[in-house]
């Protein structure tokens, strides 16, 4: 918002500004905004090495097509893997460089939402998130598509463009689908019988 401009050829702040005050004055003078109130050292340098490449390691055995991977909130090396069809599995990620594959929880899938999820080439389980206190409260969330003609729990607000004054009940089918037949929902679930494992 101020008159400050970044120097075109310099890579260090000290090449253009000699103090915090000079720096902040150049960018509007509000120290709380430009420095967030924390101390800044203009002489510190932190060289960062450029990566020479990226190493990818395959950790799955190819038995499922996973759409989502969410780390377990307990900080372990376990992850939740979601399939587009609506299955969520719990697996342990192998140590880096070990060449190992995902080790699935012996109980099999963590949860099966396939009876609620409408799954085809463009629909399915879209995402999942776990409460930070999941280990104690068991709360987790899933976002997915559902079909209100097949699942009684699939509900949402049906509306259309109010600028044209349409009535959703008077709309025709779209490639065989009824108006508002498919919904996108976010549902909350609670896992029962949690243990430290």
pLDDT tens-digit map of 137-146: 999 999 999 8
pTM score: 0.60
pLDDT digit string, tens, across residues 96-138: 888 888 888 877 688 999 988 988 888 999 999 999 888 889 9
Give me the mean pLDDT over the 83-108 stretch.
Answer: 86
Question: pLDDT class for 191, splitting at 50, 70, 90?
Answer: confident
* 181 to 14, 90, 118: CA distances (angstroms): 61, 31, 11
Nearest to 191 by CA among 123, 156, 139: 139
């Amino acid at each position: 918002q101020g008159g400050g401009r970044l120097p075109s050829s310099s890579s260090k702040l000290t090449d253009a500004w000699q103090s915090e005050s000079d720096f902040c004055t150049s960018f509007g003078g509000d120290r709380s905004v430009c420095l967030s109130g924390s101390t800044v050292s203009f002489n510190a340098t932190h060289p960062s090495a450029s990566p020479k490449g990226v190493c990818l390691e395959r950790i799955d055995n190819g038995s499922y097509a996973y759409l989502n991977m969410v780390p377990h909130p307990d900080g372990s090396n376990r992850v939740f893997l979601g399939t587009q069809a609506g299955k969520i599995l719990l697996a342990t990620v192998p140590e880096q460089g070990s060449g190992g594959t995902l080790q699935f929880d012996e109980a099999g899938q963590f949860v099966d939402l396939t009876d609620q999820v409408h799954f085809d080439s463009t629909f399915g389980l879209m995402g999942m998130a776990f409460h930070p206190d999941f280990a104690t409260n068991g709360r987790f969330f899933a976002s997915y598509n559902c079909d209100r003609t097949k699942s009684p729990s699939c509900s949402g607000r049906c509306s259309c463009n109010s600028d044209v004054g349409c009535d959703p009940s008077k709309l025709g089918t779209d490639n065989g689908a009824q108006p508002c037949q498919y919904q996108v929902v976010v549902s909350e679930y609670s896992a029962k019988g949690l243990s430290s494992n």
